[in-house]
Structure 1
Amino acid sequence: MSLNPDLAAFLELVEFGRLTGASRAMHEQTVEQARSDFEASSQVIDPSPPGELSVTELQVPTRDGALLPARLYRRPDAVSGQPVILYLHGGGYVVGSLDSHEAVCRRLACLGEFAVLAPTYRRAPEHAFPTAQLDCQDAVAWLAETAAQLGLDRERVVFAGDSVGASLAAGLAIAAALPQAGLALKPLAQLLFYPVTDISQERDSHQRHAAGYLLETQTLRWFYQHYAPNPADRLDWRASPLQARDLPPLAPAYVGLAGFDPLYDEGLAYARHLQASGTQVTLCDEQGLTHDYLRMAGIVGAVEGIYRDLGQWLQALLAR
């Protein structure tokens, strides 16, 4: 399948910026520059997300005493006892923030009955593996304790994320199924968009789409070196969910992949890994798109349909 024409036009502009020296690949920048550029990109690729929402700024305590920012997105007509999507942003463990994924959270909160709770987690290289996963586990514990006072239903929580956020969400879903992990609640489902599922090796799609499609294989290597410089850590399922063995059936999974993504093969392998465990999997294979498509609703017309289909899946989930 060919690249989506809206996206192809955008990639031409990106390449022109590279050729003229106006922009550089993320792995060629300092961490601070990469973070700044990633934040700025959000204003270009989705500048006008839905505005009619209530957004509450919160703080989530961690096991080591830190307080991490979080945001709760709700429609104005929300009622108490709402189901909630716990959404974890992408960014390779190094870049990404609540601001970079503000538009995604707003769009998710407008799909139907779900509120969206977006906690942050500490990033590498300042905080290496397994800090991000532990911070997310602490966010789950906090949600379990405070759901009632926030007007949320702790029995109807969906773990969700994109890219490494999807990896973190997958790790939470695994932890929820393992008694020894002691996770505070069990999810209703998991939403995994173009997930990072195995940072211990590279597959064929890392070569097929190594450069020219926004996320580059060299950038992935840069991310992983910051987050998990120790090769042994990359085999831990908290960093590489595909390395989890003898999985019981997990919460139903909605897995969204992008055809022009270096992570495509490992995402497909993880969907099959879940199916082999007895987990119910809905696979949405967006062959004409690249990594990060959820953030592109402002430039790629097809993304609106992806959100609409996801909303229908979530409503069917509640109906069951």
Structure 2
Amino acid sequence: MARSSFKSHPNNLRNAAVALLVPLPSVLFYLSFLQRSSASESPDSLSPLWAWCYHNPFLLANALFFLNVNLLFWIVGLLQSSHWMIDLYWTVIPVMLVHYFATHPLAESDALRSRLVILLTWIWSLRLTHSYFRRETWQWGAREDWRFNDLRGQYGRNWWWMSFFAVYLSQQVFLIGICLPLYVVHTKDRQFNAWDVAAALVCLTGVTVAYFADTQLHNFVSRNERRKQLSQALVLNLDEGVWYYSRHPNYFGEQLWWWGLAVFAWNLDCGWSFYGALVNSLCLAYVTILVEERMLKQEYRAEAYKKYQKTTSVWIPWFKTSCVAKEKGT
């Protein structure tokens, strides 16, 4: 089934090649910087460009993101008339960032904490990447995020330049912000302690919840597609497994992951880096509203979903609430 899906999209191999090649400018530039800095006797003997890269690790990360992701991905998106690639690279960029922060010459960290955070980031990325390709029936770039489609219709002819800000520049602020704990972990060498264990458990819990939520959602959608092909009545709502206790358990799991990373930074006296996880939570709250509005626009399931809203927690998994109690409350 996966093989036939892979071949079904005519641009599959082309998109796969593009996706694998586009990060090479940043990777090759950074490897060249590491080679030159390791071969140099001191940072002061480096050329101005490499010296700046040495003394400004955080700014360098932002510069590479701007040039390689914002500009290059945007140009590729314009050429393909689809900004699908940023969705895929959401699962990859944090992995690239954590290795960048860990290997930069100015990095300093507790070895155990660094390895643990790198391992956790890989686990998160593999889970999300698997979920992405499973949702896309193992195809590369078959479609772009539905929110971009909505914005495309909203901005019309101006979308070609507005997409740079709405899709890419905003993603830089967003992704660099929520990945701040990955940077903090590699700027302070403090002994590993119990708070690091607690942070890791929160991260793993988040990844686990998100995995089961996405798997149950995928199975639900697949079952309904089969029922549709057999001209059978569709199941109106997913109301079992973790979805019995939360309307958006996948979002809840994802939030736990980012807040768990923030605990690592808080443990290193950098609580200010919580802002990334906070902004992410606020944005997901807005996305939750958009998703539920889309659900209610589907007439065949609107009533069932309204009932689901009345009885089921939005994010945090909790026990069902009686519709009668809700109506009395209103």
**Range of TM-score over shorter length:** under 0.3
TM-score w.r.t. length of structure 1: 0.27
**Greater share of strand:** 1
The structure with the largest helix share of the pair is: 2
Which of these two proteins has the greater Rg computed from alpha carbons? Answer: 2
